[in-house]
Chain A
Amino acid sequence: MGMVAADKSREIASEAEWLAAIRSFEPLDHPAGGEFDELVELAAQVCGAPIGILSGVDDQGRWFKASFGVAVQDTGREASFCSHAVRGDGLFVVEDTARDPLLAGTSLLPGGPPVRFFASMPIARPGELPLGILCVMDVAPRKLNDCEERSLGIIAQQVSKRLQQRFDEREAALLLVDHAQFKLRAEQGRRIQAEVDLVQANDMLHSVLESTLDSIITLDAEWIIRYMNGNAMQMPSGRVVGLSFWDAFPGLRGSIAESSLIHCMATRESTEYEIYYAPFARWYRVFANASADGISLFYQDITIEKELAEQLERERTLRERKIAALSHMAGGLAHEISSPLTIIHALVSDLRDASSTGRPVSNRLVQTTCQETLETADRASRILRGLRAFARDSSQEPLEDIPLARIAERAIELQQERFVRSLIALKLTDASAMQRVPCREVQIIQIVTNLLSNAFDAIDAANPRLRSVEILVESNGTECFLTVRDSGPGIPAEDRTRLMTTFFTTKGVGAGMGVGLSLSRAIAEDHKGTLALEDGLPTSFRLTLPATPHQETHLPVTQNQMTENHMKQNRRNAAHLIPVEEPERSAAAC
C-alpha cells in the first residue's frame, strides 16, 4: 500500500505537468470529428479491432476527442487505464484485461461494451510529455502482430504530426494575435498616457487659472458664461456661470466693453481696454481673446494702480498750483519791492550828486534823505516778511491754535501797500473775541491773502465809485468764520459755478493764473473747513474753520489799529496834481 501511495503522489505530480501541457495544446479542445475520426477508424481497421479512441485526459476525467465504434464520452479517471498507458513512451498492450492485475475489475468503458483487449500508442509532441493516447480495443482477448503494431505506431505519429501542424498554425495565429494585442496595448498605452497628460494639463491649466491674480471668464458664441476662475467668482457678482454675460454684468451695456467685445467676437481679433465698472467700484484692464467657440476675458484689477495714479496726479496738480500761486505771488511782491528800491536808489544818488558838487550839503538834506531811506527800507522789509510766509512749504507742519483775526491782520499786513496806493479802504472787524482755530498759520494767511488779492483785482478792474474791502471774523463757539467782502461789481452767474475749479480765470493772461481759489479751497478742506462764495452782492467769500474748543484767553473785540492807519494814509495818498513850483506840498505828501 505504501508503494501505491508513493506512486499515486508521483502520478498526481506528473499529472499536473501533463494537464498544463494539455491546456497549452489547445487543438484537442476542438470538437470531436473531422480529420481525427478517420485516423482513429483507420487505426481500428488496420488492427482489426472494433473500437478505436483518440483521447486526452484532464484532472476532471478522461475525454475522447475522436472515436470509432463507441459513443462513450467520459469515464472516471481513477478507473481509467489510459493514465497508465499515457505515461509510457511506446506501445502499451493489454492482451486480456481480465488477466491484468492493474485493470482487473475495472471498466474501461463504463456504459459501453466490456473491453478485454487494449493497445495504445501515446500522442506526443517530439521530446515532450504525451498529450493523450490513440488506442484500439476489442471485446475479446487477442494479440497484435508486427504489422498491426507498426501501423498503429505510424497512425499515432500521423496524429502527432497533425496535432503539431495544428499547433504550429495556432502558434502562428497566436503570434498574430499577440502582435495585434501588442499593438492594441501600445495604442491603449498611448491613449492612457495621453489621457494622463490631458488630466495633468488640465490640472496645470486649472492651477494656473486659479493661481493667477486675474479674473478669468470665458464666454461661448451666445455670450453665455462657460467658465469663471476662483478670482472671477470672488467678484461681487459671484458665480454666474450659465448666465448671459450681459445679464450677469448689466453695467457693461453701452460701455467700451460692449463695443470691444462685440468686435472681438465678430472679428476674432484680440482686444484690450480699461474700464471702470461702477457696480463693483473697481477698475479693470481687460484682455479679450477669441477662443475656439467664443471669447476668453482676462480681468486685471487695476483699481489700486488707478487710485495711485490719480493720487499722484492730484498731488502733481496741487504742487503745480502751489508753484503757480507762488510765482504769481512772487511776481506781485517783486513789483511791490521795486518801488521802494527805486526810491532808495534815487534818494541816495541825489545825496551823492549833492555832495559831489563841491558845495556844502545841508544837515537837513542828509537827515531827511536818511530818514526817508530808512522808512522806505522798512517798507521793503515788511513786504519781504510777507514773502517769507510763502517761501516754505508748511503743509506738513503741526496745527497750532491761533486767533483767526490775528491771521487776518498778518494777511492784511502783506497787502496793505497795494490797497493804500490804489485808494482801496481795507477794514478788519473781529467779532469773534480772538477765537482761536487749530491751523497752520502760513496756509491760512495764504487763503486770506488770495481772497484779498481777488478783491483787490475785482475793484481795480471794475473801478467802482466805492472802493472798499472788509474782513469780518465771527465765531459761534464751534466754528469760526472769516468773510471777505468787496465793493466790486460781483461775479457773473455763469462764472460762479466754475469759480473754484483749477485754472479757471476771468483775468487776462499774466494778471493771474486762476489757481488761487481752488488751491485755497483745498487748504481749507485740509483744515476740515470750507471756502464758499456767498450768494448775491456784495461779493463775499466765506472761510469756515473748526474753532478751538477751549478758549483760555479772552481778548476784547478790536477794530484793527492798522485799518485806521490805512485810512489816514489813503487820505494822504489821494493823489494831487502837484506842480513842482509847490515843493512844500510835495514834500508833505511823503
Chain B
Amino acid sequence: MLISEATILVVDDEPQLTRIFAAWMQRCGCLRVFTAGNGVEALEVLQRESVDVVISDVRMPLMDGITLLRRITELEMFPPGVIFVSGFCEIDKAQSYACGLEAVLTKPLTLADLEAAVKKSLTRREDLWAQSTLPAPAVKAVLEPVGPRQHMFGRGGFSAQAKTHLPDGRIEFALPAAGDQEPEVRGYGVVRWSSRESLRVGVEFEYLDPACRAAILEAIATNPGRGFIPIHK
C-alpha cells in the first residue's frame, strides 16, 4: 500500500506529541491521520475507522500501549501494523512482536525514523523481502526450528533456536531443510529479541532467498492472525 492511501492513528498522552507526529504523517502524504490520548480512545477510533498503521506510546493513562496492542490483535482479523514509540519503558519484546507489534522506536525520534517504519509496515511482504541490494550482514547463524515448520512464520519473521547467544542486530541466517516439503530457508534478518537462558531468538526478515520466498509467503497468507514474530508455545 502506498503511504498516500494509508490511514494512520497516532496515540500518545502528550497532546503536543500527537500533534507533531500527526503533522509529520500528513507531511509524508498520508490519506488520513487520527490522534488519541490513550488506548481507550484509540480503540474507539479503530471501531469507527479502517486504520492501516497505529503509532502508539507505551506508557499512557487509562489503557497503555501493550494492552491496546493485545486488544487490537483480539478484535481484528486483519489487524493494522502497530509501531511503538517509547521513551523509557521496559516492554516484553517477544510477547509484543508475537502479538503483532512491528517496530519499537525510541524517543526522541525523527520524521525519517517514523516514515521508514510506517512505509515498511505498508509495503507488501513479497516486495519488502525481495530487496537484494542490502549489504550482507557480518554475523552468520544456523538456526534450528522450534515446533512444526508450518506454524513458524509470522507477518514479519520467525522465532527459532540459536546455538549461541545472538545480540540484537543484523544476521545472515539459514534454517536447514527438512525433507522435500520443507526447503532450506535462507536470508537476511534482524534479531529483535533473544534470550540468554534458552538461546531463543526472534528474527525479523529483511531479505529472503528466492528459493524459499514463495513458500514462506504462502504459509503467511494462509494464516494471517499469527502475529509478527510468532512464539511457539
Binding site for B on A (CB under 8 A): 331, 334-335, 338-339, 341-347, 349-350, 353, 372, 376, 421-424, 460, 463, 510, 573-580, 586-587, 589-590
Say yes or no for B44: interface residue by CB 8 A criterion. Answer: yes
Q: Shortest 7 CB-CB distances between A and B: which pairs?
A: A575-B37, A338-B87, A422-B61, A345-B108, A335-B88, A342-B107, A342-B108
Shortest CB distance B30–A (Å): 8
Taking a contact as CB atoms under 8 Å apart, the answer to whether B61 and A423 are in contact is yes
Assess A339 versus B107: contact at CB under 8 Å? Given A334-B88, A421-B14, A577-B36.
yes
Nearest Cβ in chain B — how far from A509, in angstroms? 9
Q: Determine how close the nearest CB of chain B comes to the CB of A319; give it in whole angstroms.
A: 24
Are B36 and A575 neighbours in the complex by a CB distance under 8 Å? yes
Contact A347 B20 (CB under 8 A): yes
Contact yes or no, B61 A350, CB < 8 A: no
Contacts of B61 in A (CB 8 A): 421-424, 460
> CA–CA, A353 to B38, complex, Å?
29
- CB of B13 within 8 A of CB of A422, answer yes
Q: Which residue of A lies closest to B59 (CB)?
A: A335
CB-based contact A343/B33 at 8 Å: no
Check B138 for interface membership: any CB of A closer than 8 A. no
Is B216 part of the contact surface with A, judged by Cβ < 8 Å? no
Q: How far is the CA of A334 from the CA of B107 in the complex (A)?
A: 11
Count residues of B near A (Cβ-Cβ below 8 Å).
36
Inter-chain contact B34/A376, CB cutoff 8 Å: no
Given contacts A335-B88, A346-B20, contact A575 B13 (CB under 8 A): yes
Contact indicator A342/B37 (Cβ below 8 Å): no
Task: Tell me which of B17, B59, B111 contacts A349 (CB under 8 A).
Answer: B111
Given A346-B20, A463-B62 in contact, is the A580-B108 Cβ separation under 8 Å?
A: no
* Given known A338-B87, A577-B41, contact A586–B111 (CB-CB < 8 A): no
Beyond A335-B88, A338-B87, A423-B61, whether A579 also contacts B32 by CB under 8 A is: yes
Contact B107 A577 (CB under 8 A): no
Q: Does B221 contact A (CB under 8 A)?
A: no
Q: Please, which residues of chain B bring their CB within 8 A of the CB of A334?
A: 87-88
Residues 86 to 120 of chain B near chain A (Cβ within 8 Å):
87-90, 107-111
Known contacts A331-B88, A334-B88, A510-B90; A577/B44 CB under 8 A:
yes
A578 touching B18, Cβ below 8 Å? yes
Which A residues are CB-close (under 8 A) to B16? 343, 372, 376, 589-590
Tell me if B147 is interfacial: C-beta within 8 Å of chain A.
no
The answer to whether A573 and B87 touch (CB under 8 A), given A347-B20, A463-B62, A580-B26, is no
Contact with A along B1-41 (1 / 0, CB 8 A): 00000000000011111111111111000001111111001
Residue in chain B with minimal CB distance to A510? B90
> Which residues of A are found within 8 Å of B21, using beta-carbon distances?
346
Given the complex, which residues of B lie within 8 Å of A578, measured CB to CB? Answer: 18-19, 22, 34-35
Beta-carbon nearest neighbor of A353 in chain B: B111
Residue of A nearest to B48 (CB): A577
Residue interface mask B41-71, A partner, CB < 8 A = 1: 1001100000000000001011000000000
Evaluate whether A575 and B38 lie within 8 angstroms (CB atoms) in the complex, with A334-B88, A342-B87, A343-B14 already known: yes
A343 to B23 alpha-carbon distance, docked (Å): 13
Min C-beta distance of B219 to chain A, whole Å: 35
What are 25 A-B contacts defined by CB distance under 8 Å?
A: A335-B89, A338-B107, A339-B107, A343-B14, A345-B108, A346-B21, A346-B24, A347-B20, A350-B20, A350-B111, A353-B111, A421-B13, A421-B14, A422-B61, A463-B62, A573-B15, A573-B37, A575-B41, A577-B36, A577-B41, A577-B44, A578-B34, A580-B35, A586-B22, A590-B16
CA distance A372 to B16 in the complex (A): 9
Q: Given B22, B26, B34, B109, which contacts A342 in the complex, CB threshold below 8 Å?
A: B109
Query: What residues of chain A lie closer than 8 Å to B111, measured between beta carbons?
Result: 346, 349-350, 353
Chain A residue at smallest Cβ distance from B63: A463
In the complex, what residues of B have CB within 8 A of residue A423's CB? 61-62
Which one of B21, B41, B108 has the greatest number of beta carbons of chain A within 10 Å? B108
- Whether A343 contacts B20 in the complex (CB less than 8 A), given A421-B14, A575-B13, A575-B15, comes out as yes
Complex alpha-carbon distance, A421 and B24, angstroms: 23
B88 near A342 (CB under 8 angstroms)? no
Docked complex Cα distance between A376 and B41 (Å): 25
Are B36 and A341 in contact (CB-based, < 8 A)?
no
Q: Chain A residues with Cβ under 8 A from B25's Cβ?
A: 580
Q: Which residues of B contact A586 (CB under 8 A)?
A: 19, 22, 35
Contacts of B13 in A (CB 8 A): 421-422, 575
CA distance A579 to B34 in the complex (A): 5
CB distance from B46 to the nearest CB of A (A): 11
The residue in A342, A376, A423, A589 that gathers the most chain B C-beta atoms within 10 A of its C-beta is: A342
